[in-house]
């Protein structure tokens, strides 16, 4: 899969929940579909700007697929669709109206630092994982 075909997940690099979620995705990315980047660092910032994504509205996950940006619950569901195991079954929740899905997503995102904590800086990938990061 060449670089243009990879799905890009941008995430909050200082959020413990987000970092755990990225590690979860990496372990289940058996077909090497994803590339990752922190929202707070380049090239994540440039990608957000390219797609006119306001980090005041979306500050936890963005998925870029085929030149289109997905945010919040849609990003999470599209990501789940490409994981190994039973996780693609979660994509069925895409039929739930977006305002309902995003209300649940926003509640978790709003409380993620309180519930899971945060780091002082973005995660640094191990040498083995470096190729998966932008």
- Domains belonging to the chain, first-starting first, are 3-124 (3.40.30)
The rounded Cα 97 to chain-centroid distance in angstroms is: 20
The parts of the chain modelled with pLDDT lower than 50 are: none
Burial annotation 90-118 (CB, 10 A radius, 16+ → b, else e): ebeeeeeeeeebbeebeeebeebeeeeeb
Whole-number pLDDT of residue 9: 97
Q: Among the residues of 12-131, which ranges form H helices? A: 16-27, 44-50, 72-80, 98-116
Whole-number pLDDT of residue 126: 82
Q: Which residues contact 126 (CB under 8 A, 6 or more apart)?
A: none
Whole-number pLDDT of residue 29: 97
Q: What is the pTM of this model?
A: 0.90
Pick from 50, 56, 105: nearest CA to 64: 50
Measured distance CA(13)–CA(57) in Å, rounded: 16
Phi, psi of 11 (to 5 degrees): -140, 165
Measured distance CA(52)–CA(59) in Å, rounded: 13
Measured distance CA(134)–CA(46) in Å, rounded: 11
The tokens describing 2, both together, are: 């060449």
Measured distance CA(85)–CA(47) in Å, rounded: 30
């Amino acid at each position: 899969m060449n670089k243009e075909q990879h799905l890009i997940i941008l995430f909050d690099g200082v959020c413990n929940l987000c970092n755990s979620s990225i590690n979860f995705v990496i372990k289940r990315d058996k077909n090497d579909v994803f590339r990752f980047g922190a929202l707070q660092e380049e090239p994540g910032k440039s990608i957000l700007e390219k797609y006119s994504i306001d980090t005041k509205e979306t500050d936890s996950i963005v998925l870029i697929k085929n030149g289109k940006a997905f945010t919040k619950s849609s990003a999470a569901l599209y990501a789940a669709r490409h994981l190994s195991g039973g996780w693609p079954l979660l994509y069925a929740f895409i039929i739930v109206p977006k305002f309902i899905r995003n209300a649940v997503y926003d509640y978790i995102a709003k409380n993620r630092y309180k519930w899971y904590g945060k780091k002082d800086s973005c995660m640094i990938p191990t040498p083995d994982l470096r190729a998966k990061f932008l």
